[in-house]
Amino acid sequence: MSIRLSKETEKRLIGSIQRYFSENMEKPIGDLKAALLLDFCVQEIGPTVYNRAIADAQAQLQDRVADLDSSCYRHEFGYWNRQDRASKR
């Protein structure tokens, strides 16, 4: 599965890379070089970030599912217990 960016997102990211280079590096970077750097980052770094995000989401969901037992559990067959307590009064 490859990570695909919308054209608008890609355009904004290329602009962000160019701004970063112009403010933090000795030379500015052109459109082609910024696009190549973006492609490299998406292909090389993107899967690691994506996998971490999926693992974090899975952990969050597993915590919520595990909590279902304590937050949603209801005792079964409680009718007669209530009746027995009421008759003892």
Residue-wise pLDDT tens digits, 29-70: 999 999 999 999 999 999 999 999 999 999 999 988 888 877
Domain boundaries, the chain: 7-87
CA separation for the pair 52, 45 (Å, rounded): 11
Kindly report the number of other CB atoms within 10 A of residue 28's CB atom: 13
pLDDT at 19: 97
Handedness of CA 51, 56, 60, 63 (dihedral sign): positive
Instruction: Please give the model's pTM, rounded to 2 decimal places.
Output: 0.68
Decide if 13 contacts 31 (C-beta within 8 A): no
